[in-house]
Amino acid sequence: MSLFLLSFFLVYGSMHAYALLKARSALAFGPGTTLALLPLLAVLLCAPILTYSLSRNGHESAARAVAHVGYLWMGFLFFLTWLSLGTDLLRLLLRVPVRFGIAADAAAVLAGRTAYLCIALLSVALSAYAIVEASRIEVVRVRVVTDRLPASVPSLRIAQITDLHLGLVHRNGKAREVAAIVAREGPDLFVSTGDLVDGQLDGVAELAEILRGIPAPRGKFAVLGNHEYYAGIDRAIAFTRKSGFTLLRDESVTIDDAVRIAGVDDPAGARFGRTGAPSEAALLGNRPDGRFTLLLKHRPQLDPAGGGKFDLQLSGHTHHGQIFPFRLLTRLAYPLLAGDHPVPGGGILHVSRGTGTWGPPMRFLAPPEITVVDIVRSAPGDPG
């Protein structure tokens, strides 16, 4: 068993065991009910693995059904777990200093049937809200004033999507919504910063056509994320190109002698045998005079040797934690979690919250976004 699967079953299995123990304690059901629930919980626990197996063996409809049920359950269980843990911590705080009186009575109430049912109902309500939040894509606007555009290009608009995770859960409806929003913004350039796809890529020709139809007169460019490798790199690359994107794999292009676009592959590629890529600093080289340098990079990490070599980096990957309070853990790995961040040596890093979802089709306090960047040439004498 791989380390990933071992970790998955340890963490996710513990959540199921904890939920079962909490329900049994609060609702006081006996061994018979417990044994009856075990097969159901086992199926729900294994739903992500079952989804993967079904999709790999060509059973797409069954895989989609299992994915929807399994991932909705995963989101609900996440809310139930952290609300229950918060309640248990509060009970502990109430019981430690005082073992009698009001505090002890409150601790007893929090352990009872009514409190558990309230937590379960709140988890359902939060799950429903999170589904709605995930469906409402926000347009986040970024304005960059620079002296690094030539007079022939006084302004440039870029639309960024990232972490769309098209696959079993997000399909044509999501792609059409994204296409409509991007088209309405009228970008000169349209970019994808990774995780465009997720899971097995069967029957996605229409998805590619929807994305291909998005107008972007100065071009469409994409880089790979980690999920392109998980989905199957060859198919992911083929889908990205069929969607109209020029894929940048540790390479750069110059558009209209005005904008240099560099794109780097995701580090996940090293685990799948990709070697020999140049360093980010070597790829960027020195910033050319009179050209704006845009860096597309899936993960919001800064190369210390790359400072001052680009004007704007667009990234994603973090989902802003997707479901709070998971953001607190995500921030430990990626301190530059979302929004705009100045880069030492010059430049800006914008980290998108992501356009889709991974796993549960839910977001809580982390709404999805499409980023629209307006790059404007500064007037002579204005700070660039």
Q: What is the dihedral of CA 133, 138, 140, 141, to 10 degrees?
A: -160
Same domain (yes/no): 126, 19: yes
15 is a domain residue? yes
Same domain (yes/no): 214, 121: no
Same domain (yes/no): 31, 14: yes
382 is a domain residue? no
332 is a domain residue? yes
Same domain (yes/no): 312, 294: yes
Distance CA 109, CA 35 (A): 27
Which of 3-12, 67-76, 155-164 has the least mean pLDDT?
3-12
pLDDT band at 179 (very low <50, low <70, confident <90, very high): very high
Distance CA 206, CA 261 (A): 28
Q: 376 - beta bridge partners?
A: 145, 155
Number of H-type helices and E-type strands within the chain: 11, 14
Query: Of 57-71, 173-187, 199-213, where does the model show the most confidence?
Result: 173-187
- Domain harbouring 345, CATH code: 3.60.21.10
Domain that holds residue 31: 3-133
Out of 84, 108, 133, a domain closes at 133
What mean pLDDT is reported for the chain? 89
Same domain (yes/no): 258, 230: yes
Same domain (yes/no): 92, 143: no
320 is a domain residue? yes
Out of 76, 102, 133, a domain closes at 133
Give the residue among 376, 360, 382 at the shortest CA–CA distance from 134.
360
- Residues near 105 by Cβ (< 8 Å), separated by ≥ 6? none
Same domain (yes/no): 257, 365: yes
Out of 133, 164, 195, a domain closes at 133
Q: pTM to 2 decimals?
A: 0.91
pLDDT digit string, tens, across residues 6-28: 888 999 999 999 999 999 988 88
Counting the structural domains of the chain, the total is 2
Same domain (yes/no): 148, 295: yes
Does residue 344 have a cis bond before it (omega within 30 degrees)? no
Cβ 156 vs Cβ 292: under 8 Å: yes
